[in-house]
Chain A
Amino acid sequence: MACVYIPVQNSEEEVRVALDQLPRDASDILDILKAEQAPLDLWLIIAREYFKQGKVEQFRQILEEGSSPEIDEYYADVRYERIAILNALGAYYSYLGKIETRQREKEEHFILATQYYNKASRIDMHEPSTWVGKGQLLLAKGEVEQAFSAFKIVLEGDRDNVPALLGQACVEFNRGRYADSLELYKRALQVYPNCPGAVRLGIGLCRYKLGQFQKARQAFQRVLELDSENVEALVALAIMDLQANDAAGIQKGMDKMRRAFEIYPYCAMALNYLANHFFFTGQHFLVEQLTETALAVTNHGPTKSHSFYNLARSYHSKGDFEKAGYYYMASIKEINKPQEFVFPYYGLGQVKLKSGDFRTALSNFEKVLEALGHIYVQLGQVDKAQEFMRKATKIDPRDAQAFLDLAELLISSDTGAALDAFKTARNLLEKGGQAVPVEVLNNIGVLHFEREELELALESFNKALGDGVWLALTGNKPKPYVIEASASILDYKDMQVFHRLEEDGLAVELPWNKVTVVFNLARLHEQLHNTGIANILYRLILFKYPDYIDAYLRLAAIAKARNNLQLSIELVNEALKVNDKCPNALSMLGDLELKNDDWVKAKETLRSASDATDGKDSYAVLSLGNWNYFAAIRNEKRNPKLEATHLEKAKELYTRVLVQHTDNLYAANGAAVVLAEKGQFDVSKDIFTQVQEGASGSVFVQMPDVWINLAHIFFAQGNFALAVKMYQNCLRKFYYNTDSQILLYLARTHYEAEQWQECKKTLLRAIHLAPSNYTLRFDAGVAMQKFSTSTLQKEKRTADEVRSTVAELENAVRIFSQLSAASNLHLHGFDEKKINTHVEYCKHLLEAAKVHREAAEREEQQNRQKQEAARQLALAEEARRKAEEQRKYLLERRKQEDEQKRLQQAEEHFKREQWKSSNPGSRRRDRSEIDDEEGGHSEKRRRKGGKRRKKDKNKSRYERDDEEPDMMDDREEMEDEDANRNYGESTTRMNDQDDDNGENAQDLLAAAGLEDSDMEDETAAAPSSAAGRRRRAWSESDDDEPVQRRPESSPVRGNSAELQESDGEIREDNRKPNGGNALDDDED
C-alpha cells in the first residue's frame, strides 16, 4: 500500500502514513504536518487522498490550513506548492459552483474559486496551471470568450499543454466551431495518448455535430471501452440509436438509456429521453417521476425546458389542462427564442384554446408562427411569412403538420420555400423520432427535381422507397436483371424480367403508396438519360398496375424521343384501352399522327382530346391551334381565303387558352406568331421576349422555338448580326449544335448579309449533320456560285480572290453535277434539268472566271513590274536629279503613265467586252426583269413578297413544325427579290421553277455573252405566270414530298407535349401524396 513519510524535524526519523489509513479526523494529521513543518507537497498529497476517498471535508480542511497566512509566511519561498494548493481549492470550488443548482450558492462558490485563483496568480502570474484553472472557472460560469483568452495565454506558452487544449476545445465547442474543437481534442490525444475517456467523448460530440455519425459512434464506443460506466457516452450512443428511427434502433437506444440511468440516475438528458419514451408508451407516472428528477438535477435551460414540456405533455394527454398549462408555461420560460423549441407554445396554445382563453391561445400560436415566420424572414420572404402567420392562426397548428400545410401552400407559388418547409417538417419528424411519411420524402424529391437538383431528388426518392424490388432493377452494379432489362427495352410487353425475379425468390411487390414514387424515380432516371432504368421501372408499374396510364404515356414518350413512332402509337393505344377519353393520351396520339403526316386523323384526335375536357385542357386546345396554324401555312399558296380562316381560328384558340391561363407560354408564343404573321413585328417581338424570359429557369420548360422566332424577327428587320447570334445561342443552348434546320436559317442569314464563306461553312456543317438532305448540298452549291458571281462583279479584286473564285466554282460544278447524276436515282426531288442548268451556268462562269483569273494574274504581274520600274526610276532619279528638276520629271512620268494606262484600259476593255456587257448589264436586266415580271402590280407583289418573307421568318416555328414549308418560303421569296439569287430555288424543287431558273440562268448566260440571247421575249413572258406555277408547285410538292417534310416536323412539338405532360404529372404527384394527409403527430 502506498505510504508517505513525514520527516521528523531535526532528526533522521520519519513518520509513516499509510494513505489508505488516514485518520477520520483530519486535525490529527494536520497536527503532525504542522508540527513537523512537513514539505507542502505532502500536504497536497494527503489532501488529494482524502478527496479520492470522498472525504471532501477533510480535503478542504487540509488545503485551507495549507493556504493560510501563516503558511504563506513560513513557506514564503516555496512557490509552486503553494500555487498548487490554491489551484486545487480553486478547482474544487469551481466544481461546486458548476454542479450547484441554487443560484446564490453557486455564485458564492464561484467567488471563492476566483479568490483562490487570484491568490495563486499573485504568487506567480505566469503559472500555466493557474490559467487553466481560471479558464475552467470561466467556462463553468459560461463566460466563454474570457475562458478562450485564458486558455490562449497558456497555449501560447506551451502549445501542447493538455489541460489547456481540452479547455480550449470545450470553448470552441461551445462557440459552435466543431471542426476547430475537434482539432484541439485530437491534438490533446496526440500529445497524451493515455487521456481519460472524456477526451474521446469530446471528439465524439464534435463528430456528431459535424454530421460524421459513424465516426462519432466509434468515438463514443471507445469511451465506453475505457470506462464502461461513462454516462455521457452511453446517452450519446442511445440518442444516435434512437435517431435510426426504426424499431430495432429504438429498442437499442432505450436499453442504453436505461443502463445510463442505472449507472447514474441523475443525468437530465437521459431522464428526458426516457420520459419521452414512456410518454409514447403511455406510462405517464413514469414520465412524471423521471422529468421531476431531471428538473431537480439540471440547470441547463434547454434541458429544463424539455423536461417541463414532457411533463406538460403528459398532463395534457391525461386531460389535466390546468397542470399542463402550468408546465407548458414553465417550459416556455426556459426558452430564449421560440424558434429553437416551439412545441410548448403549441401546447400552451391548445390548452388555452380548450379552456376558452382565446386571447392567450392566439398569442401562443403566434409565437409558433413567429418561429415559422422567422424562418421565412431568414429566407427573405417577408410577405410569405406574414401571410402564413395569418393563415396558420386560423387552423389548429400542429408543428410538423403545420409545416407540411405551409409547404403545400407554397408548392404552386414558390417551390424553393415549399422545399424548405418540407425539409423543416421532415427534420421535425425525425427529431421527434417519427418515421417520415413516404409522401413527404416524395414531395421533397419532386421539388429538388424541379429545381434541377437531380442528385438530391434521387436521394430523396430512394429514401422514400426504402428497400424493395426496385433495388434489384436500378442498381448500378452488374446485376443480371439490369442487363436483361437493358436488352429488352424495345419490348414494353416483355414482363419476363419480373417473372424471373419471382422465380429467383424475390418478391415483386409494389405497395400502392409507393407507386407514385417509383413513377417519379423513373421520370428522374429519364431526365438523367438512364432510359433503360426508367423503362424497366415504368414496366414494373404496369406489371403490378396495368391501368396506370401515365406509365404507358411515358413509355410512349421515350419511344417517341427515339423516333420509334410505331411503338409509341402502340403504347398510346394501350393507354386509350384503359381510358379512351384520357386527354393526355389523345393529345399525344394526335401529335404522333401529325408526325406520321396524318393531318385529318390528327385533327379529329385533337378535337376529341379537347372535347374530353370540355375545352379546358390547354394542351389539347393549343394543339388544335397549332393544327390550324400549320394548316394555314400549308394552304397559303393554295387558297388565301382558307389561310385567313385558319389563322383566325388559330388565333382564337390561342387566345382561349390565354384567357384561361394568362401565363401559358406556349399560347403566348402561338399568339405572337400569328401577330408576326400579320406583320406586327414590334408587338410579337415583345411577346417573344417575354416568353423567352418566362421559359428560362425551369427544367420542364424548354422553348427553343421562341428563340428561333425572335431570331426570325431580327432577320426580317434586317438585323442580321443579332439574328446570327440568336440562332447560334439557340443551337448551342438547346441542340448541342446539332440542328441542321437552324443551321440552314443561320446560313440563310449569312447569305443575306453577304457573308459567303460563313454561309458556305454553315451549310457544310449542316450537310455533315444531315447528310441525306440534298437540299443543303444544293444550297451550298448556290452559295458558292453566288460567292463567285459577286467576286467577279467586284470593281477591284485581287488575283487571289479570283483564284479562290475559280476553286469555288469548280466545287459548285462538282456539287451540281453530282446532284444531277443522283437525280437519276431519285435520291432527291430536284429536277435534273434545273440542276443541269446550274451546272452549265457554273461551268460557263468558271470559264469566264478562268479568263478573269488570267487577266487578274497578268494585271498583278504588270502592276508588280510597274511598281518595280517606278521604284527604280525614282531611285535613279533621286540620285541623279536635284529638287528643282523633280517637278519636270514628274510631268514626264505622268505622261508616261497616262499612256500606259490608256494602253491598259484598252486592253482591259477588250478583254472585258463580254463580261462588261453582261455583269452590270445583267444586274440591270435582272431588275428590269423583275419589273417585267411583276408588271403593273409589281409594287403590290413586292409588298406581298416582303410580307411573305416576314411571315416565314416569324412564321410559326411555333414549335418549329413547319420547317420545310418555311424553307420553301425562304427560297421563293428570295427569288422574288432577286431572280439572280438562286440560292433557294432548290427546295421548291419544282418543275415550274426550273423554267424560271432556266430563264434566269440562260438570261445570265446570255448576259455573260456566252450565249445568244434571243430568249428575251420568253423571259419577259414567262414570269407572268411564275406565281401561278409556283402555287402549283406547292401543291405538287405537298403531295410529293410528305415524307421528307414531316419527319422533321415534330420533334420539338413532341417535346413540348411531353414537357407539358410531365409537368402535369409531377404536379399531380404533388397533390396525390399529400392528399393522404397522413401526418399525425404526437405532440398534441
Chain B
Amino acid sequence: MAKSMKLAGLKSVENAHDESVWTATWVPATGSRPPLLLTGSLDETVKVWRPDELDLVRTNTGHCLGVVSVAAHPSGVIAASAALDSFVRVFDVDTNATIATLESPPSEVWQMQFDPKGSTLAVAGGGSASIKLWDTATWRLVATLSIPRPEGSKPSDKSGSKKFVLSVAWSPDGRRLACGSMDGTISVFDVARAKFLHHLEGHYMPVRSLVFSPEHDSRKLYSASDDGHVHIHDVEGKAIIGAMSGHTGWVLSVDVSPDGEAIATGSSDKTVRLWDFKMRAAIQVMSNHTDQVWAVAFRPGGRGGRLASVSDDKSISLYHCS
C-alpha cells in the first residue's frame, strides 16, 4: 500500500482578518515570485499572503458586505474576488490594479473558478439557477448555463428557487462544468455545446464545494455537503463511487491534492480532515481551528505540498503535507 499523506502544522496566523475568513485560494507562481495565498473575509477585504511565513503582502479593499469567494487565474497574474454585494472584482495580483468589475443582476455570485486554460471564468449564479461564463480577454458575459426547471413546474413555482447554485467546478480537461445547489443536486454541463447533461443525485442538502480529481481525463468529482458527507461521483456514469462520513457538522469545503491521492475537507465542526481516496476513510483530523472551517486549499504544483485552511475564527493555518 502506498504511504498515506500526513499533515503537519507549519504556521498559523491568528486574527488574519478582522472578521470571519470565508474563502481562500492559491495563486500559482509566476516567473518573478512564488505561489501566494489569497483569502477573503466578512471584513470586506481580500488579503494576499506569502508562504511559508504567511507574511501579509497586501490588503485589497473595495468590496462590500463580505467576500465570499476568490479565484486565481492559472497564469498566476490575475485573480477575482466576489462578495455578497454581487460584484466580481478582477484584479492584478501583484499591483492590485482593477482589471474589470463584473455583475449580472439579479444574479448573485458565489463560488468562482477559472477554467484550466484560463480563457473563461465560471461563476456560480445563486438564485438565477445558472452558471455565468465570462471571457477573460474581453470580460464579457459569454454564456449562461442554466439548470433546466424540473418538468411540470410552473414558472411561479417557488421550489424552482431551490436550484440555487452555490458551487462550481471545471473538469481538468475543461470540457465539463459541474455546479452544486442548495437542494443538494449537482448539475453537469457540456461546456463546448453549452448544454445541460444530467444531474448527479445523492445529497439532499446544500452542496457548498465541488472539486474534480486532477488527473487530466478525470471523471471523478468530489462533492461536500451540509449532510456531513463527501461523495465521490463518476460524472459521466452518473454513479456514486464512494461516500465518506465522519465530520460531525456540515462539510463546507473540499479539495484534492495535486497527485489526486488525498482529499482535504473543512467543516463547521471546526476540523480539517485528510482522507485517503483508496481507503475511503479519514486518515487525519486537525483541530486547530476554534470555529467553522470555510475553506481548505492544496497548493498546486509539485514541490513541497502545502495545505491552507481558513476559518470563522479569523485565522489562517498552513500545513506541510508529506
Q: Give chain A's interface residues, CB within 8 Å of chain B.
A: 476-478, 482-483, 486-487, 489-490, 528-532, 561-565, 736-738, 761, 764-765, 767-768, 771-772, 774, 780, 807, 810-811, 814-815, 817-819, 821-822, 824-829, 1040-1041, 1043-1044
Contacts and interface: CB of A to CB of B under 8 A. Distances in A.
Q: A562, A824, A825: which has the most chain B beta carbons within 10 Å?
A: A562
B243 A826 contact: no
A854 B203 CA distance: 53
B205 interface: yes
B278 interface: yes
B83 to A, nearest CB: 10
Contacts of A817: 105
B241 interface: yes
Contact of A772 (B65, B164, B248, B276): B164
Given A767-B84, A827-B128, 19 more contacts: A478-B279, A486-B244, A528-B246, A561-B227, A562-B204, A563-B184, A563-B205, A737-B312, A761-B42, A764-B84, A768-B22, A772-B164, A811-B64, A818-B86, A821-B106, A822-B106, A826-B155, A827-B127, A1043-B159
18 contacts: A478-B280, A483-B242, A487-B239, A531-B229, A531-B243, A562-B203, A562-B204, A562-B229, A563-B184, A563-B205, A564-B204, A738-B226, A761-B19, A765-B42, A768-B66, A771-B164, A827-B127, A827-B128
Interface string B252-273: 0000000000000000111000
Given A738-B249, A768-B68, A825 B127 contact: yes
B126 A487 contact: no
B29 interface: no
B51 interface: no
B85 interface: yes
A768 B19 contact: no
Contacts of B246: 528-530
B279 A477 contact: yes
A827 B159 CA distance: 9
B231 to A, nearest CB: 9
A811 B83 CA distance: 12
Given A490-B202, A532-B243, A772 B162 contact: yes
A736 B85 contact: no
B116 interface: no
Given A772-B164, A811-B85, A737 B280 contact: no
B66 A764 contact: yes
A816 B241 CA distance: 44
A1043 B158 contact: yes
B182 interface: yes
A932 B227 CA distance: 51
A563 B166 contact: no
A737 B269 CA distance: 9
A821 B105 contact: yes
Contacts of A814: 64, 85-86
Contact of A737 (B127, B204, B291): B291
Contact of B292 (A529, A563, A736): A736
Nearest to B155: A826
A183 to B, nearest CB: 34
B242 A486 contact: yes
A673 B263 CA distance: 46
Contacts of A825: 106, 127-128
A684 B184 CA distance: 39
Interface in B280-299: 280-281, 291-292
Contacts of A489: 240, 243
Interface residues of B, number: 62
Contacts of A1041: 158
Contacts of B85: 811, 814-815
Closest 6 CB pairs of A and B: A821-B106, A822-B106, A772-B164, A563-B204, A736-B268, A562-B227
Given A764-B66, A826-B158, A827-B161, A531 B281 contact: no
Main secondary structure on chain A at its contact with chain B?
A: helix
Contacts of B243: 486-487, 489, 531-532
Contacts of B162: 772
Nearest to B268: A736
B134 interface: no
Nearest to A531: B245
Contacts of B110: 771
A737 B268 contact: yes
B129 to A, nearest CB: 9
Given A738-B292, A821-B106, A764 B228 contact: no
A826 B164 CA distance: 13
Contacts of A736: 248-250, 268-270, 292
A953 to B, nearest CB: 27
B245 A532 contact: yes
A822 B203 CA distance: 27
Contacts of B64: 807, 810-811, 814
B115 interface: no
B20 interface: yes
B247 interface: yes
Contact of A529 (B166, B204, B247): B247
Interface in B147-204: 155-162, 164, 166, 182, 184, 202-204
B137 interface: no
Given A563-B205, A772-B162, A772-B182, A529 B245 contact: yes
A764 B65 contact: yes
Contacts of A829: 158
Contacts of B228: 529, 531, 562
Given A477-B279, A764-B66, A818-B105, A772 B268 contact: no
B280 A483 contact: yes
Contacts of A528: 246
A1040 B158 CA distance: 9
B212 to A, nearest CB: 18
Contacts of B239: 487
A528 to B, nearest CB: 8
B246 to A, nearest CB: 5
B108 A771 contact: yes
Nearest to A562: B227
Contact of B280 (A486, A490, A807, A827): A486
A811 to B, nearest CB: 5
B127 A822 contact: yes
Given A532-B243, A562-B229, A768-B22, A478 B278 contact: yes
A821 B312 CA distance: 31
A774 B280 contact: no
Contacts of A827: 106, 127-128, 161
Contacts of A531: 228-229, 243, 245
Nearest to B283: A476
A715 B278 CA distance: 52
B274 to A, nearest CB: 14
B126 A771 contact: yes
B3 to A, nearest CB: 14
Contact of A487 (B106, B240, B281, B291): B240
Contacts of A561: 227
A780 B85 CA distance: 11
B124 to A, nearest CB: 10
Nearest to A568: B204
Contacts of A768: 22, 42, 66, 68, 84
Nearest to A817: B105
Contacts of A828: 127, 158, 161
A529 B162 CA distance: 27
A78 B203 CA distance: 95
A829 B158 CA distance: 8
Contact of A482 (B68, B158, B280): B280
A764 B247 CA distance: 25
B279 to A, nearest CB: 4
Contacts of B19: 761
Contacts of B240: 487, 489-490
A738 B250 contact: yes
Nearest to B267: A736
A230 to B, nearest CB: 43
